[in-house]
A and B are shown apart, each in its own frame.
Chain A
Amino acid sequence: MASLSLQHIEKIYENGYHAVHDFNLEVEDKEFIIFVGPSGCGKSTTLRMIAGLEDISEGDFLIDGVKMNDVEPKDRDIAMVFQSYALYPHMTVRDNMGFALKLRKVPQAEIDAKVDEVAKILDLEKFLDRKPKALSGGQRQRVAMGRAIVRSPKVFLMDEPLSNLDAKLRVQMRTEIAKLHERLGTTIIYVTHDQTEAMTLGTRIVVMKDGIVQQINSPEHLYNKPYNLFVAGFIGSPQMNFLECAVEKKGADIFLDMAGFPIKLPADKAEAVKDYVGKTVIAGIRPEHLLDGRGKEKDFCTIKAPIEVRELLGAEAYLYFTLGGKQCTARVASDVDLYVGMEGTMALDLNKLQLFDKDTELSLLWKEW
């Protein structure tokens, strides 16, 4: 296994399009790194530069301290799982999995033994003589994984490997990948636009937007301490609620005017916005931190708004309402008896409140990653 170092990586295409800006990342051995971000944010481009499928315009990429910028993909000792799986349709599963070893002139008996071993891990033994066309999506995905594992590479690269699967299979395969990482102890770099995949799989997540790294941290850190408005909005489902609030000082206390509802800030939050008195900040509160506030008005700051939509998901329900002209969501237990047309009273868990500068969109609470 291996450590990777990406130093000031830039990708500028011939037409002048700047796809990746000053990308810096140190990947430790056995880490599971996730690149996440919306379409076109540069995450796949970065992965392809690591694979050697795209040239690096500027900066250095090292594996185990050896510069790889000009090394051919075949000589980087990496394996990649593609979004489309990229299985060779004219080869059987066995041939697909053993192809890389065959190219390296590994003896056939050794290839067969290795393929059989990996097929057993991935429960593919029954399908070894089939061609990819005769496999289901999930089986193909496992073959693609198997083809990568057979080679025992230094680094696994995965480019949205679950995006072609249906929702149920995706959850199943996600668990399989997590188990596989535990079992093989490999360094994995995984690209996805699905923040749930990112949160559940990664040891560290790289959030990207417009080719620029927004934040690199553990899933818990990203969730609880988003560095800017984009990360706060991108991580978490349903998305964090954002409201523009005027900061007011009344005596020794600092309040936020949240669509007409005065919210008294706790000491640590008040300290963060003390320079913004008389100005506007953006307050962010996750749907799960908006509680059914009926009868809790004395203990919590509350807001009120009529419920417009109620979505029951089983164990929980999403309540949609409009506050200060913005659509907001609350995530409550399904037995909370708030229905469409009723006046909802929501209590805010102020310990979880996030605050952002309106202009720079940077967090007022977390100054560093």
Chain B
Amino acid sequence: MNRNTFSYKLRQILMFAGPGTILFFAVVVVPFIYGLYLTFTSWDGVSAHKPFVGFANYAAAFSDGAYWVALGRTAIYSIFAVVFINILAFALAYLVTSGVKGQNFFRAGFFVPNLIGGIVLGYIWKFVFNRAYVAIASAITGGMAISPLSTTGGAMFCLIFVSVWQYAGYMMLIYVAGFMSVSDSLKEAAMIDGCTPSQAMRNVTIPLMRSSFVQCIFLSITRCFVVYDVNLSLTKGEPFNTSVLAAMHVYNQAFTYKNYGLGQAEALILFIVCAAVGITQVMIGKKGEVEA
């Protein structure tokens, strides 16, 4: 068989890369391009006719005050959630790699919230905040406590809290892999060199876990920027639309208000913002990254 012919090479390429390429185009590239096309129309999401409106949707998106408020709120939510998710995940990873008894059980246990879908998780915590918390707080104070979900700051706090609860276990696994990639001999060398445990952590372990930090921060940023399910089931944007995050605003724009083109344009802006933040963070984080 002549392996240098074009047809042989083409067959090889199609056989190995073909299925993946087709799938990637079908579920990523084509929907993205179609979505891009829809941003130039005033489609209502239902009718067969999609009137071309040029950049009108983008102009409308830039002048949509509620969208930018939601985006700003998403940024604040993301900053707090990303920070706390990563702090908690790192602490949990440290705990379950420190040789504590039953560490495999704890690893599995901390990961479980990630297995529960965001919608279900939102409803569970809605019950906790609205019923359990209120009952317990009322019993303790002797008065009539109100649910934190019914206050502006409280709803945002609950959103951040539940997101941290949901994602910390997942990020923990990445940090666990990071901890385990730092060889024991390096930690021992640090101890012999004169490090206290905290100095060894600061000077040796953490710098060598840089790739874990980059991955976890990227994943948590991208997830937080587009969070919708927990937002819907936990607060539904309430009270008074003060907990509407960007993804929920985009959804409402497209499906509730039937402005599909505008919603799509706002979704694209959200994607660009999210990608820009994520890629910038990865580029900064990757500098000086070394293998443990």
Contacts and interface: CB of A to CB of B under 8 A. Distances in A.
Interface of A: 51-53, 72-74, 78-80, 82-84, 86, 88-90, 99-100, 103-104, 131, 133, 147, 151
A80 B288 contact: no
29 contacts: A51-B188, A52-B191, A53-B192, A72-B191, A73-B188, A73-B192, A74-B191, A74-B192, A74-B194, A74-B195, A80-B188, A80-B189, A82-B185, A82-B188, A83-B185, A86-B183, A86-B186, A86-B188, A88-B190, A88-B208, A89-B208, A89-B291, A90-B210, A90-B288, A99-B203, A103-B194, A133-B290, A133-B291, A147-B193
Nearest to A103: B194
The bracket for how many chain B residues form the interface is 20 to 34
Given A84-B185, A86-B186, A86-B188, A74 B290 contact: no
A147 B290 CA distance: 20
Interface in B6-51: none
Interface of B: 183, 185-186, 188-196, 199, 203-204, 207-208, 210, 288, 290-292
A84 B288 CA distance: 22
A144 B257 CA distance: 67
B236 to A, nearest CB: 46
A53 B208 contact: no
A147 B190 CA distance: 11
B208 A78 contact: no
A88 B195 CA distance: 13
A15 to B, nearest CB: 14
Q: What are the nearest 10 A-B pairs in CB distance?
A: A86-B189, A100-B193, A86-B185, A103-B194, A74-B194, A89-B290, A90-B207, A90-B290, A73-B191, A82-B185
A86 B291 CA distance: 13
A89 B204 CA distance: 9
Contacts of B192: 51-53, 73-74, 78-80
B186 A74 contact: no
Given A90-B207, A90-B290, A82 B199 contact: no
Contacts of B186: 86, 88
Nearest to A104: B194
B208 to A, nearest CB: 6
A187 to B, nearest CB: 16
Q: Which of A79, A88, A99, A131 has the most CB of B within 10 A?
A: A88
Contacts of A89: 208, 290-292
Contacts of A131: 290
Nearest to B289: A90
A28 B138 CA distance: 74
Contacts of A151: 193
Contacts of A51: 188, 192
Contact of B189 (A72, A82, A90): A82
A72 B192 CA distance: 9
